[in-house]
Amino acid sequence: MVETVSDLVMEIPCRAPQIKLLASLLGEDECPLPSSIFMYGHSGTGKTLVTTAVLERLGVLTSHVNCIEFYNSRVMYETILNQLSGTVPTSNNNYSSYASCDNLGDFVGHIRNIGSKTKQRMAIVLEHSERLRDCDANILPVLCRLQELTRDVNIVVIFLSTLPIDKFRAATGFLEPIVIHFPQYTKDELVEILMRQRPPRYSEEFYKNYINLVLSVFYLATKGFPELQHQVQLNFKAYCEPVEKGDAEEYDIRRLWRNIEPHLKKAMSSVYLREVSSAQYERMQQLTETAPQDVALVKAGLTSKMELPFYSKFLLIAAYLASYNPARTDKRYFMKHHGKQRNTKAKIKAKERSSSQLVGPKPFPLDRLLAIFYSIVDDKVTPTANVFSQISTLVTLRLVTQVGGDDQLDAPKYKCAVPLDFIRSVARMVSFDIVRYLYDYS
Amino acid sequence: MGLKRQKSPVRSDPDLMKEVQKQLRLNLRLWGTTKEAGKRLKSLYSEEAQHLKDLMTRTLTLGESNSALVLAARGMGKSSLVNTVIEKLEASGTLGEGVVVRLSGLLQTDDRLALKEITCQLKLENATANKVFGSFAENLAFLLESLRCGSKETSKPVIFILDEFDLFCHHRNQTLLYNLFDVAQSAQAPICVLGLTCRLDVIELLEKRVKSRFSHRQIHLFPEDKFDPHYLNIFEQLLELPDSFPSKDFSRKWNSDVAVLLKDSEVIQVLKRLHNTTKDVRALKTLLLLCVSQLSSDQPQMTGHMFMRAQSLFASEAKTNMLQGISVLQLCLIIAMKHLTTIYEGEPFNFEMVFHEYRKFSRQRSTMQSFERPVVFKAFDQLKCLELVRSVDNNRGTQREYQLVQLMMTPLQVTEALGQLPGIPTDIQQWAASSLG
């Protein structure tokens, strides 16, 4: 066992304590297994990797399932039983599984049967086990004490989760599993792991510098390994470009940094947020000259792709004004003759405190929406069926939401569900100065 | 003895160590009993064991019907006590013809399943090859009929053990419980119904008619909470190698080593700390398993150091651990939320407010680069996924920026956790400490 574990430690970097702990807990062949183990840590800290590798090396018969896949518990039971018994549903056996099993009692019974047949040690690995909380209440306690319930089948249940175990406890409690924590990689460890993917053409130092540059931009925003790895892979081409063209040498760090920095910043605001897919981004890298405008275009396209009819635009603007302005200021903004108002200091302060940009949109009645709409549209609009149907279209497009009142006819209330940037671009299209009418900004 | 100790090398035989690991793990198996543990439990709860034994003996020999509840906290040894008593009865031959039916509230989640299980375990005629025919009503009628037509003389006594008894109380109409207690009450086949539960108010869960048929015999198992002889005895027993161990010399040496271990100040300190948090023996077993797994042929002896290591694994704070893995930006958001919670006295807040707070900080005081709004929103979303932040009402209609959320930590916890995290930039630390936000 010692050899296999030390092999693994070499293979999987920076996870030595966890590998050793897990391997020693599981013990060597024929050792009784602990009844359940709970492993938690952020995503991308190697929980699955370590578990599967250790179980494989120790020769434990493993069933590995992901709890996201199961829309009901029956599917989960049957999958686990299939994997443990080695049944594969194929055309030969008419796609039948090991046994049909739709409750925990049967499940435990079948596990007992399998256990008495194979003399091997068994393990059930449950990925994303936080989903188990949404299943029946008794699944978790049963899995935690599966060994006891199956009466001496040598089986261990391993839970993998991104949440700590405190979030799992409920009702009268359960047999507490052994908890193993997978800490997030430190910066040095990240560099070490990322170094493993160095393309052989470039020197170690060159690649290390590059990784450090990427980390200096992204590390503050995310520590997650998968994201960082993705960014490192994505931007490497752009980083090498000056070297390939002969503009810079490999050791000319400052020039390389000046070259890559805008790229990384751009990646942060586009690929990191997945506003641009990585394929698109790579294509953009190839057309380096036009790249900055492209990003702007794609971003603009996303936010204002929606092409609305003329009156719908005004309806939306009216809805925005209605939900972000207090009703008492309507008179001032939308009527021709209103008394002048002075901004006192106290008023400004009060405004700041309850700024509706912070609190969110307020619901408004349909009448108010129409009143504002008529006041901001210059020409005469007859309240035809068309106008009203446009309002309900806005609701189905999720630009406006209906709150409360399932009654369609009798005074429904609405809320505008559109951010300020969006409404600004809409207002610009119809050349309407929205900021002048917004209470928070005037 | 002394001579032998000198002889034994520091590196010990790997095969022997394998055997030791196996034996110790059997001792420590997180549930259940070895013979020794059973004996200890019986001596600990001697009165209760006697009571249980009397009850069952009377059912078995005299044909009396009984019912009782065993109440105790988790990990106190309810199941093991009942099991030992039954084993004892079996060994002494009193059990004889009697049948033991074991049900668990976790597995038999409704009466139909429970009935199926009972018919299977009683091996009734219509249960062939693990298959039970007929509907629930037929089954129940059949079962009751076969119980009813029996009498003291003609039928075998049956002992029903209902594990997680409180879950049986949630079944519809409590039909199964009603019928079982009813049979126990009236002169029919002799049965003994034993409920095991960790809920002390389980009687209140019973319906009136069920409650009136229950004998109200309750057996409480309280933990003996003396640290010195009692807890340490358990400790010793769990680590002892039994007489059946193949290498006698080694086991003798090992057992004396364990006795020596009890005088180690480090070990005592670790054990005391655990004892102060919980008296649950299973927690002790977990701790010991963590120690035992550190044994290897290089290190064939238990040391105080192992206990310290096991304790640090055992008692690490999950929230701090999780905070350790989040990025600086997310940490900033947590601090902003902490300020919002203190300023508005626990009122829920939304992303806009958090972002406003964060921007105030990053613009005025920080040397750190300030992030764009979508990047911050992504960080905020990740905090939600980690359930450090929870939304107050699940309102689908509102925009996600305006959904009201709450921080799942108290401001004090945040401050404490921040104190333990290494490498936080100074300006963020100062911001966290400042009360004005």
User: Terminus-to-terminus CA distance in chain B, angstroms?
Assistant: 69
Contact A105 B386 (CB under 8 A): no
User: Terminus-to-terminus CA distance in chain A, angstroms?
Assistant: 73
Higher pLDDT, B195 or B419: B195
Q: What is the pLDDT of residues B282-298, one digit of tens each?
A: 888 888 888 888 888 78
pLDDT at residue B8, as a whole number: 45
pLDDT at residue B206, as a whole number: 93
B328–chain A nearest CA distance, Å: 5
Structure tokens at A27: 């013990």
Contact B279, B223 (CB under 8 A): yes
Cα-Cα-Cα-Cα dihedral sign, residues A325, A330, A336, A340: negative
The tally of CA atoms less than 13 A away on the side-chain side of residue B133 is: 6
Beta-carbon contacts of B369 under 8 Å, excluding residues fewer than 6 positions away, are A220
Contact A223 B327 (CB under 8 A): yes
Q: How far apart are CA A152 and CA A63, in angstroms?
A: 18
Contact A149 B107 (CB under 8 A): yes
For A217, nearest residue in chain B (alpha carbons): B369
- CA distances for B288 relative to A79, A264, B64, angstroms: 34, 50, 43
Closest CA to A122 of A96, A148, A158: A158
Contact B22 A30 (CB under 8 A): yes
Q: How far apart are CA A246 and CA A243, in angstroms?
A: 5
Q: How far apart are CA A6 and CA B182, in angstroms?
A: 62
Q: Please state, as a whole number, how many other Cβ atoms lie within 10 Å of the Cβ of residue B98.
A: 20
Q: Is the pLDDT of residue B31 over 80?
A: no
Q: Please state, as a whole number, how many other Cβ atoms lie within 10 Å of the Cβ of residue A156.
A: 24
- Across the interface, of A21, A179, A358, the residue whose CB is closest to B353 is A358
Q: How far apart are CA A121 and CA A19, in angstroms?
A: 19
Q: What is the largest CA-CA distance in chain B?
A: 91
Q: What is the CA radius of gyration of chain B?
A: 30
For B349, nearest residue in chain A (alpha carbons): A359
Contact A28 B21 (CB under 8 A): yes
A38, with CB counted inside 10 A (0-12, 13-18, 19+), is: buried
Beta strands A413-416; A400-403: pairing state: antiparallel
Main-chain dihedrals φ then ψ at residue A302, nearest 5 degrees: -65, -40
Indicate the angle between helix axes A291-303 and A253-269, nearest 10 degrees. 10
pLDDT at residue B435, as a whole number: 67
Contact A223 B353 (CB under 8 A): no
pLDDT at residue A111, as a whole number: 92
A214, with CB counted inside 10 A (0-12, 13-18, 19+), is: buried
Contact B321 A183 (CB under 8 A): yes
Q: pLDDT category, B7, cuts 50, 70, 90?
A: very low
- Across the interface, of A21, A167, A417, the residue whose CB is closest to B387 is A167
- CA distances for A188 relative to A13, A14, A184, angstroms: 12, 10, 11
Average pLDDT over residues B266-278: 89
A357–chain B nearest CA distance, Å: 8
Main-chain dihedrals φ then ψ at residue B396, nearest 5 degrees: -70, -30
Please name the helix (run of DSSP H) or strand (run of DSSP E) that holds residue A150, with its range, or none.
none
Q: What is the pLDDT of residues B328-363, one digit of tens each?
A: 899 999 999 999 999 888 889 989 999 999 988 888
B341–chain A nearest CA distance, Å: 15
Q: How far apart are CA A333 and CA A356, in angstroms?
A: 17
Main-chain dihedrals φ then ψ at residue A337, nearest 5 degrees: -110, 105
Closest CA to B219 of B191, B194, B182, B189: B194
- CA distances for A186 relative to A26, A50, A158, A219, angstroms: 27, 18, 25, 10
- Amino acid B309 reads R
Q: What is the pLDDT of residues A140-149, one digit of tens each?
A: 989 988 888 8
Residue B100: strand pairing partners: B159
For A140, nearest residue in chain B (alpha carbons): B106
Contact A272 B109 (CB under 8 A): no
Closest CA to A37 of A18, A56, A53: A18
pLDDT at residue B152, as a whole number: 66
ipTM (interface pTM) = 0.89
Place of tokens 């931007």: A235
Cα-Cα-Cα-Cα dihedral sign, residues A213, A214, A220, A226: negative
- Helix/strand/coil for B48: helix
A338–chain B nearest CA distance, Å: 33
Residues of B in contact with A227 (CB under 8 A): none
Please name the helix (run of DSSP H) or strand (run of DSSP E) that holds residue B196, with its range, or none.
strand B191-197
Q: How many CB pairs under 8 A join A and B?
A: 166
Q: pLDDT category, B25, cuts 50, 70, 90?
A: confident
Instruction: Find the DSSP H helices in B158-218.
Output: 165-168, 175-185, 202-205, 208-213
Contact A103 B109 (CB under 8 A): yes
B170–chain A nearest CA distance, Å: 13
How much of chain B, in percent, has pLDDT values that exceed 90? 20
**The overall pTM is greater than 0.90:** no
Backbone φ/ψ region at A374: left (φ over 0), alpha (ψ -120 to 50), beta: alpha
Structure tokens at A9: 């430690």
Contact B107 A104 (CB under 8 A): yes
Backbone φ/ψ region at B231: left (φ over 0), alpha (ψ -120 to 50), beta: alpha
Contact B171, B111 (CB under 8 A): yes
Q: What is the pLDDT of residues B130-142, one digit of tens each?
A: 555 667 767 777 7
- Across the interface, of A32, A42, A220, the residue whose CB is closest to B368 is A220
Q: What is the CA radius of gyration of chain A?
A: 31
For B163, nearest residue in chain A (alpha carbons): A149
B122–chain A nearest CA distance, Å: 16
pLDDT at residue B110, as a whole number: 87
Residue A392 C-alpha from the chain's centroid: 31
pLDDT at residue A126, as a whole number: 95
pLDDT at residue B6, as a whole number: 40
Ranges of chain A with pLDDT below 50: none
Structure tokens at B311: 């304790």
pLDDT at residue B437, as a whole number: 44
Q: pLDDT category, B4, cuts 50, 70, 90?
A: very low
Beta-carbon contacts of A424 under 8 Å, excluding residues fewer than 6 positions away, are A434, A435
Contact A281, A399 (CB under 8 A): no
Place of tokens 């002169």: B187
Main-chain dihedrals φ then ψ at residue A291, nearest 5 degrees: -55, -50
What stretches of B318-380 adopt beta strand conformation (E)?
A: none
DSSP class of residue B405 equals E
- Across the interface, of B167, B289, B326, the residue whose CB is closest to A223 is B326
